[in-house]
Structure 1
Amino acid sequence: MPRTLQRTAAFTALAKALVSGSRGGPSIGKRLAALPRMLKATAKGQYDGGLRVAMMAAATAYVVSPIDVIPEAMFLVFGLADDAVMITWLAGTVLAETQRFIEWEKQRDAVLPGSVVG
Protein backbone atom coordinates (compact mmCIF):
# COMPACT_ATOMS: atom_id res chain seq x y z
CA MET A 1 0.00 0.00 0.00
CA PRO A 2 1.49 3.41 -0.89
CA ARG A 3 2.64 5.56 2.03
CA THR A 4 0.11 8.34 1.32
CA LEU A 5 -2.76 5.85 1.27
CA GLN A 6 -1.59 4.30 4.56
CA ARG A 7 -1.41 7.72 6.17
CA THR A 8 -4.88 8.65 4.88
CA ALA A 9 -6.34 5.37 6.17
CA ALA A 10 -4.75 5.91 9.58
CA PHE A 11 -6.11 9.45 9.89
CA THR A 12 -9.55 8.31 8.72
CA ALA A 13 -9.61 5.53 11.35
CA LEU A 14 -8.48 7.96 14.04
CA ALA A 15 -11.14 10.50 13.08
CA LYS A 16 -13.87 7.85 13.16
CA ALA A 17 -12.72 6.62 16.57
CA LEU A 18 -12.60 10.13 18.01
CA VAL A 19 -15.97 11.23 16.65
CA SER A 20 -17.95 8.08 17.30
CA GLY A 21 -16.59 7.19 20.72
CA SER A 22 -16.14 3.63 19.43
CA ARG A 23 -14.93 2.31 22.77
CA GLY A 24 -18.34 2.91 24.27
CA GLY A 25 -17.49 6.26 25.80
CA PRO A 26 -18.64 9.71 24.77
CA SER A 27 -17.32 11.19 21.54
CA ILE A 28 -14.58 13.80 21.54
CA GLY A 29 -17.18 16.46 20.71
CA LYS A 30 -19.23 15.57 23.79
CA ARG A 31 -16.11 15.51 25.94
CA LEU A 32 -14.95 18.92 24.70
CA ALA A 33 -18.44 20.33 25.24
CA ALA A 34 -18.34 18.99 28.81
CA LEU A 35 -15.02 20.68 29.59
CA PRO A 36 -16.43 24.18 30.31
CA ARG A 37 -19.23 22.65 32.40
CA MET A 38 -16.65 20.65 34.33
CA LEU A 39 -14.56 23.75 35.01
CA LYS A 40 -17.64 25.66 36.15
CA ALA A 41 -18.86 22.84 38.43
CA THR A 42 -15.35 22.50 39.88
CA ALA A 43 -15.09 26.25 40.53
CA LYS A 44 -18.47 26.19 42.29
CA GLY A 45 -17.35 23.24 44.44
CA GLN A 46 -20.05 20.94 43.07
CA TYR A 47 -17.62 18.57 41.35
CA ASP A 48 -14.63 17.07 43.14
CA GLY A 49 -12.13 17.51 40.28
CA GLY A 50 -10.25 20.47 41.74
CA LEU A 51 -6.80 18.93 41.99
CA ARG A 52 -7.05 17.20 38.61
CA VAL A 53 -8.26 20.40 36.92
CA ALA A 54 -5.39 22.32 38.54
CA MET A 55 -2.89 19.73 37.28
CA MET A 56 -4.36 19.95 33.77
CA ALA A 57 -4.06 23.75 33.87
CA ALA A 58 -0.45 23.50 35.07
CA ALA A 59 0.41 21.03 32.29
CA THR A 60 -1.18 23.32 29.69
CA ALA A 61 0.74 26.30 31.05
CA TYR A 62 3.98 24.31 30.95
CA VAL A 63 3.52 23.29 27.31
CA VAL A 64 2.63 26.78 26.06
CA SER A 65 5.14 28.59 28.29
CA PRO A 66 7.85 30.55 26.45
CA ILE A 67 10.35 29.41 29.11
CA ASP A 68 9.98 25.88 27.76
CA VAL A 69 11.59 27.01 24.48
CA ILE A 70 15.05 26.94 26.10
CA PRO A 71 15.27 23.12 26.45
CA GLU A 72 14.04 22.70 22.87
CA ALA A 73 16.70 25.10 21.58
CA MET A 74 19.49 23.45 23.56
CA PHE A 75 18.59 19.77 23.36
CA LEU A 76 16.48 19.58 20.18
CA VAL A 77 14.82 16.15 20.18
CA PHE A 78 15.35 15.56 23.89
CA GLY A 79 13.91 18.99 24.61
CA LEU A 80 10.78 18.08 22.68
CA ALA A 81 10.42 14.76 24.51
CA ASP A 82 9.26 16.43 27.73
CA ASP A 83 6.56 18.26 25.78
CA ALA A 84 5.48 15.02 24.10
CA VAL A 85 5.19 13.28 27.46
CA MET A 86 3.29 16.21 28.95
CA ILE A 87 0.89 16.47 26.00
CA THR A 88 0.27 12.72 26.08
CA TRP A 89 -0.45 12.83 29.81
CA LEU A 90 -2.67 15.88 29.37
CA ALA A 91 -4.69 14.31 26.55
CA GLY A 92 -5.23 11.12 28.53
CA THR A 93 -6.18 13.03 31.65
CA VAL A 94 -8.64 15.26 29.79
CA LEU A 95 -10.26 12.21 28.19
CA ALA A 96 -10.49 10.33 31.49
CA GLU A 97 -11.68 13.29 33.54
CA THR A 98 -14.31 14.44 31.06
CA GLN A 99 -15.69 10.89 30.91
CA ARG A 100 -15.79 10.80 34.71
CA PHE A 101 -17.51 14.20 34.75
CA ILE A 102 -20.13 13.14 32.18
CA GLU A 103 -20.91 10.05 34.27
CA TRP A 104 -21.14 12.27 37.37
CA GLU A 105 -23.60 14.55 35.55
CA LYS A 106 -25.76 11.57 34.58
CA GLN A 107 -25.86 10.29 38.17
CA ARG A 108 -26.60 13.75 39.52
CA ASP A 109 -29.41 14.30 36.99
CA ALA A 110 -30.90 10.86 37.78
CA VAL A 111 -31.56 11.90 41.39
CA LEU A 112 -34.67 14.07 41.70
CA PRO A 113 -34.21 17.02 44.03
CA GLY A 114 -36.29 16.69 47.17
CA SER A 115 -36.97 12.98 46.75
CA VAL A 116 -36.46 10.70 49.71
CA VAL A 117 -34.72 7.42 49.16
CA GLY A 118 -35.19 4.84 51.79
Structure 2
Amino acid sequence: MKAKAARAAAAWRTYQDVTKPGTPGLMARIRAIPRLIGAVMRGEYGEMGKGRLALMGLGVVYLISPIDLVPDFLVLIGVADDFGVFLWLMGSLLGESGRYLDHERKVVRGTLEG
Protein backbone atom coordinates (compact mmCIF):
# COMPACT_ATOMS: atom_id res chain seq x y z
CA MET A 1 0.00 0.00 0.00
CA LYS A 2 2.87 2.39 0.83
CA ALA A 3 4.48 1.69 -2.56
CA LYS A 4 1.26 2.65 -4.37
CA ALA A 5 1.04 5.89 -2.42
CA ALA A 6 4.70 6.66 -3.18
CA ARG A 7 4.17 6.07 -6.91
CA ALA A 8 1.05 8.24 -6.91
CA ALA A 9 2.92 11.00 -5.07
CA ALA A 10 5.81 10.78 -7.55
CA ALA A 11 3.37 11.01 -10.46
CA TRP A 12 1.74 14.05 -8.88
CA ARG A 13 5.13 15.75 -8.37
CA THR A 14 6.01 15.07 -12.00
CA TYR A 15 2.70 16.54 -13.15
CA GLN A 16 3.32 19.64 -11.04
CA ASP A 17 6.84 19.96 -12.43
CA VAL A 18 5.69 19.60 -16.05
CA THR A 19 2.95 22.20 -15.63
CA LYS A 20 5.01 24.71 -13.63
CA PRO A 21 5.45 28.03 -15.48
CA GLY A 22 8.94 28.47 -16.88
CA THR A 23 9.75 24.75 -17.06
CA PRO A 24 9.82 22.64 -20.22
CA GLY A 25 6.36 21.40 -21.17
CA LEU A 26 5.26 17.84 -21.69
CA MET A 27 5.88 17.69 -25.45
CA ALA A 28 9.31 19.32 -25.17
CA ARG A 29 10.25 16.69 -22.58
CA ILE A 30 8.94 13.83 -24.72
CA ARG A 31 10.84 15.10 -27.77
CA ALA A 32 14.01 15.34 -25.66
CA ILE A 33 13.95 11.67 -24.60
CA PRO A 34 15.76 10.30 -27.70
CA ARG A 35 18.45 13.02 -27.33
CA LEU A 36 18.73 12.21 -23.63
CA ILE A 37 19.25 8.51 -24.35
CA GLY A 38 21.86 9.28 -27.00
CA ALA A 39 23.72 11.69 -24.72
CA VAL A 40 23.78 9.15 -21.88
CA MET A 41 25.04 6.43 -24.20
CA ARG A 42 27.81 8.70 -25.55
CA GLY A 43 28.75 9.80 -22.04
CA GLU A 44 27.86 13.43 -22.79
CA TYR A 45 25.30 13.70 -19.99
CA GLY A 46 26.79 12.64 -16.70
CA GLU A 47 23.73 13.44 -14.58
CA MET A 48 22.22 10.07 -15.44
CA GLY A 49 24.18 6.84 -15.54
CA LYS A 50 23.87 4.01 -17.99
CA GLY A 51 22.66 1.80 -15.14
CA ARG A 52 19.61 3.98 -14.57
CA LEU A 53 18.98 4.08 -18.31
CA ALA A 54 19.17 0.27 -18.39
CA LEU A 55 16.68 0.09 -15.51
CA MET A 56 14.28 2.29 -17.48
CA GLY A 57 14.79 0.01 -20.48
CA LEU A 58 13.86 -2.96 -18.31
CA GLY A 59 10.73 -1.07 -17.30
CA VAL A 60 9.76 -0.68 -20.96
CA VAL A 61 10.44 -4.38 -21.60
CA TYR A 62 8.33 -5.32 -18.56
CA LEU A 63 5.42 -3.21 -19.83
CA ILE A 64 5.42 -4.67 -23.34
CA SER A 65 6.28 -8.24 -22.31
CA PRO A 66 3.45 -10.75 -22.15
CA ILE A 67 5.15 -12.24 -19.06
CA ASP A 68 4.35 -10.46 -15.77
CA LEU A 69 5.43 -10.97 -12.17
CA VAL A 70 1.75 -10.71 -11.26
CA PRO A 71 -0.49 -12.20 -13.98
CA ASP A 72 -3.01 -9.81 -15.53
CA PHE A 73 -5.84 -12.30 -15.06
CA LEU A 74 -5.73 -11.29 -11.39
CA VAL A 75 -7.51 -8.19 -12.59
CA LEU A 76 -6.86 -5.50 -9.99
CA ILE A 77 -3.51 -6.76 -8.75
CA GLY A 78 -2.19 -7.78 -12.18
CA VAL A 79 -2.96 -4.41 -13.74
CA ALA A 80 -1.76 -2.47 -10.68
CA ASP A 81 1.82 -3.72 -11.04
CA ASP A 82 1.91 -2.69 -14.70
CA PHE A 83 0.42 0.69 -13.82
CA GLY A 84 2.97 1.16 -11.04
CA VAL A 85 5.85 0.45 -13.43
CA PHE A 86 4.27 2.82 -15.97
CA LEU A 87 3.96 5.62 -13.39
CA TRP A 88 7.56 5.14 -12.27
CA LEU A 89 8.83 5.04 -15.85
CA MET A 90 6.91 8.14 -16.98
CA GLY A 91 7.86 10.05 -13.84
CA SER A 92 11.50 9.13 -14.27
CA LEU A 93 11.63 9.87 -18.00
CA LEU A 94 9.75 13.16 -17.80
CA GLY A 95 11.71 14.34 -14.78
CA GLU A 96 15.09 13.41 -16.26
CA SER A 97 14.24 14.82 -19.69
CA GLY A 98 13.36 18.14 -18.02
CA ARG A 99 16.75 18.17 -16.30
CA TYR A 100 18.38 17.23 -19.61
CA LEU A 101 16.71 20.18 -21.36
CA ASP A 102 18.14 22.47 -18.66
CA HIS A 103 21.54 20.89 -19.27
CA GLU A 104 21.22 21.47 -23.03
CA ARG A 105 20.36 25.14 -22.45
CA LYS A 106 23.42 25.59 -20.23
CA VAL A 107 25.69 23.94 -22.79
CA VAL A 108 24.33 26.10 -25.62
CA ARG A 109 24.58 29.22 -23.47
CA GLY A 110 28.19 28.31 -22.54
CA THR A 111 29.05 27.71 -26.19
CA LEU A 112 27.60 31.05 -27.26
CA GLU A 113 29.35 32.92 -24.45
CA GLY A 114 32.69 31.15 -24.92
- TM-score of the two chains, using structure 1 as the length reference: 0.70
Partner SS for 2:71? helix
Q: Post-superposition shift, 1:108?
A: 1.3
Corresponding residue to 1:23 among 12, 20, 25: 20
| CA drift at 1:38 | 0.7
- Name the counterpart of 1:54: 54
Per the TM alignment, residue 70 of structure 1 is displaced from its structure 2 partner at its CA by 6.5
Aligned-pair distance for 1:112? 2.7
Q: 1:67-91 CA distances to partner (integer Å, 9 max, x unpaired)?
A: 1286112x22111110111111111
Query: Displacement of 1:31 after TM fit?
Result: 0.8
AA aligned opposite 2:89: L
Which one of the candidate residues 20, 28, 35 is aligned to 2:33?
Answer: 35
Paired residues for 1:1-118 under 5 Å: 21-24=18-21, 25-48=23-46, 49=48, 50-68=50-68, 71-73=71-73, 75-112=74-111, 115=114
CA distance in structure 1 between the aligned counterparts of 2:70 and 2:80, rounded to whole angstroms: 13
Q: Computing the radius of gyration over CA atoms, which structure comes out larger, 1 or 2?
A: 1
Q: How many residues align?
A: 95
Q: State the shift of 1:107 in Å.
A: 1.2
- Paired residue for 1:14? none
Compute the RMSD of aligned alpha carbons: 2.2
Unmatched segments (≥5 aa) in structure 1: 1-17
8 Å contact 2:29–2:97 — kept in the other structure?
yes
SS of residue matched to 2:67: helix
Identity %: 30
Structure 2 unmatched runs, 5+: 1-14
